């Protein structure tokens, strides 16, 4: 398949993201090419604010799904018409010309990958953890780095595991590492540090570390979510 024939479907799961969604959709339109983007799909999990109305006003396809990012992203992927799926959080802004970077990677037979990451924060602590996103190992991956994957590979992998209410990205990417050569592109997304600002940087990173350790040691999705819901207040 030639590079110029490929199209990207951007899939954004949302839940009460009225503060960010307009900024993100404007940014995506300004920093990508119409010829590369098949559609922008906002999959909402039951927002009580104006998220869906704003998304619709900015030209996104708005879908409604049961709450849960894994369910929402799978639902969006099933409706997507592009050959490449690009999963993006509502508070994460990809690099300029992200679409060209993704298409070039796929043209070079990179069927799945992400960008490096930095936070919209001056915290040296967060700068250090964001720098680890340059390491091409599954333990350094997360949904805030965004994710591109060809639709054919996504379907082969049967998408996200909907049992996971957290770490759904890490679980899926872990499977991708076993299936294909995962690519970490050198450009950086900028993601919000709002969770750290609300919960406390050290506290939140500690609990995230424990969750990842529990995952490595074989804890199931219910155990991971129980820890998350008991220890982390969003």
pLDDT in tens, 145-171: 999 999 999 999 999 999 999 999 999
Cα torsion angle, 183, 94, 213, 126, sign: positive
User: What are the structure tokens assigned to 146, written together?
Assistant: 């965004």
95 membership: H or E segment, kind and range: none
Which one-letter DSSP state was computed for residue 160?
-
Looking at residue 232, what is its pLDDT?
84
Is the pTM here over 0.85, yes or no? yes
Phi and psi torsions of 20, nearest 5°: -105, -30
Strand 112-119 and strand 147-150: the pairing is: antiparallel
Looking at residue 1, what is its pLDDT?
46
Contact 82, 75 (CB under 8 A): no
Looking at residue 5, what is its pLDDT?
86
Looking at residue 24, what is its pLDDT?
98
User: What are the structure tokens assigned to 164, written together?
Assistant: 């996971």
In the predicted model, what is the mean pLDDT of residues 219-231? 92
For residue range 10-67, what is the model confidence (pLDDT) as tens digits? 999 999 999 999 999 999 999 999 999 999 999 999 999 999 999 999 999 999 999 9
158 membership: H or E segment, kind and range: none
Q: What is the residue-wise DSSP string for 182-217?
A: -EEEEEEEEE--HHHHHH-HHHHHHHHHHHHHHHHT
pLDDT at 200 exceeding the cut of 70: yes
């Amino acid at each position: 398949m030639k590079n110029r024939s490929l199209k990207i479907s951007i899939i954004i799961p949302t839940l009460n993201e009225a503060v960010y969604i307009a900024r993100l959709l404007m940014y995506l339109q300004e920093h990508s090419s119409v010829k590369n983007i098949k559609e922008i799909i906002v999959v909402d999990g039951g927002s009580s604010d104006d998220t869906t109305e704003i998304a619709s006003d900015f030209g996104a396809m708005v879908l409604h799904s049961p709450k849960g990012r894994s369910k929402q992203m799978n639902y969006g992927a099933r409706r997507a018409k592009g050959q490449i799926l690009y999963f993006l959080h509502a508070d994460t802004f990809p690099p300029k010309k992200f679409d060209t970077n993704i298409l070039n990677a796929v043209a070079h037979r990179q069927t799945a990958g992400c960008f490096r990451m930095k936070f919209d924060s001056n915290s040296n602590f967060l700068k250090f953890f964001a720098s680890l996103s340059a390491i091409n190992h599954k333990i350094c991956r997360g949904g805030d780095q965004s994710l591109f994957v060809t639709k054919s590979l996504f379907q082969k992998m049967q998408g996200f595991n909907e049992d996971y209410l957290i770490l759904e990205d890490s679980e899926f990417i872990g499977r991708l590492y076993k299936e294909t050569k995962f690519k970490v592109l050198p450009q950086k997304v900028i993601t919000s540090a709002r969770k750290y600002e609300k919960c406390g940087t050290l506290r939140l990173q500690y609990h995230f570390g424990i969750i990842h350790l529990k995952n490595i040691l074989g804890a199931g999705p219910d155990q991971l979510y129980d820890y998350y819901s008991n220890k982390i207040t969003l």
